[in-house]
């Protein structure tokens, strides 16, 4: 493996200690040395056998094996590393024993449920790509009133895919009622199965409005 070469920032990110962006910034800031020489080019080619230091600390270029964690995201946490509004984040709530991780997709602030975390960018990308058709399942609480309620025709329309007025295109969404699950008066639960994760796709009222037309 020592004869294989890769970019310096990419090799640092592959150790699992930094993100690619952090590795780029550290290298550009001249904090990285390779075989005793300071290197400021993030794309400089390195081998696993090279002696690399960051801020004077030896950093073996060993690729961290991909790992996956399951995290139950509660209501009220935002899925981001930092929030300008100061809201609590998923990553700030994680135990300190975890390595640097990233989320596979996101859940909105008010959503709760399973959120996958991984130390591997390529694995996260593979799971997120709609072309790989990994299913995401949600429960959504919807209205049942005559004027604004969700109808069977609307749910069936989602199964054909939707194009909104702003030309946002959604792939087919499989949506079925779950009448045996209790809900507040005037509401019911709908189980939705998606193969993509566009922003607020489940929560957006635009999806229901489009299927109503």
Q: Residue 35 CB: number of other CB atoms within 10 A?
A: 12
Query: What six digits make up the tokens of 170?
Result: 């959604």
Sign of CA dihedral 209, 210, 211, 213: positive
Check: CB of residue 49 under 8 Å from CB of residue 35: no
Tell me which of 29, 108, 160, 166 is the catalytic residue: 108
Cα→Cα distances 76→33, 90, 110, 212, Å:
42, 9, 6, 30
Catalytic annotation on 108?
yes
Provide the b/e sequence for 58-87 (b: ≥16 CB within 10 Å): ebebeeeeeeeeebebeeebbbeeeeeeee
Q: What positions carry a catalytic annotation?
A: 108
């Amino acid at each position: 493996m020592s004869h294989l070469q890769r970019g310096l920032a990419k090799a640092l990110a592959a150790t699992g200690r930094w993100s690619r962006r952090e590795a780029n910034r550290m290298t550009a800031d001249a904090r990285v040395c390779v075989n005793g020489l300071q290197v400021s080019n993030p794309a400089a080619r390195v081998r696993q056998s090279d002696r690399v230091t960051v801020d004077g600390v030896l950093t073996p270029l060993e690729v961290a094996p991909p790992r996956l964690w399951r995290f139950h995201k509660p209501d009220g946490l935002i899925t981001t590393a930092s929030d300008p509004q100061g809201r609590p984040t998923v990553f700030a709530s994680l135990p300190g024993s975890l390595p640097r991780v990233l989320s596979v997709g996101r859940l909105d602030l008010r959503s709760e449920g399973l959120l996958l975390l991984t130390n591997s960018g390529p694995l996260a990308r593979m799971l997120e790509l709609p072309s790989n058709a990994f299913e995401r399942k949600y429960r959504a609480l919807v209205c049942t009133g005559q004027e604004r309620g969700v109808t069977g025709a609307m749910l069936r329309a989602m199964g054909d895919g939707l194009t909104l007025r702003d030309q946002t295109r959604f792939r087919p969404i499989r949506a079925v009622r779950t009448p045996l699950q209790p809900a507040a008066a005037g509401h019911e639960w709908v189980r939705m199965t998606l193969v993509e994760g566009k922003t607020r796709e489940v929560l957006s009222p635009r999806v229901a409005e489009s299927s109503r037309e």
